[in-house]
Amino acid sequence: MGMMDQDILKVLYTEKQIAARIEAMGMEMYGALKDKDPLFVSVLRGAFIFMADIVRACQVRCDVEFIAVSSYGNATSSSGAVKITHDIQQDITGRNIVVIEDILDSGNTLHFLKQYFMTKGAASVSICTLLDKPSRRTKAITADYIGFTVPDEFVVGYGLDYCQKYRNLPYIGVLKPEVYSGEE
């Protein structure tokens, strides 16, 4: 038992379940993307672990990029404005972009990024998310590839954080409420 496990209320997906799901997703994506010379774009920081696993599960010829964004949405402002803090490093004109995310929540981030990549001349933008939380959606956006659909609970691990911690848990779990003590 690691030192972070005591903060977990319950495990939603074990390391094994995640690996099995990603293997199946990778095969599905391979079928759809094998002739598309896709560019996989991971959204930092949460998606970094999923990115590493999904690109190896999907054995297509591809390149990888990383983008970082910050969101200015908060409880009082639902504008959901998104700002790019680290941009991708290559011309994407005519490319088939596959955005790799750890979680699709309100949809603000992916709604923005889809527009952004289309404006920059991408041929297509598809979305691959490990977790989908449709109950929280405020933007009309759906993912093309979904690992698991999750309830509206505070999930951490496998890249997902609480106050930048727990990202390195190998499984996905629900945080005990006393850990975040009502300050979600």
* Residues carrying an active site annotation: 105
Nearer to ligand PRP, 60 or 117 (CB): 117
Cα separation, 132 vs 5, in Å, equals 23
Pairing state between β 155-156 and 82-86: unpaired
For binding to ligand PRP (CB under 6 A), which residues are involved?
43, 45-46, 71, 101-109, 161
Nearer to ligand PRP, 71 or 124 (CB): 71
Smallest separation (angstroms) from ligand PRP to the CB of 62? 21
Contact call for residues 102 and 159 (beta carbons, < 8 A): yes
Supply the DSSP string of 129-158, one letter for each residue: EEEE-GGG--S----SEEEEE--SS-EEBT
Nearer to ligand PRP, 23 or 161 (CB): 161
Smallest separation (angstroms) from ligand PRP to the CB of 34? 27
Comparing CA positions, the residue from 132, 131, 126, 125 lying closest to residue 159 is 131
Smallest separation (angstroms) from ligand PRP to the CB of 166? 10
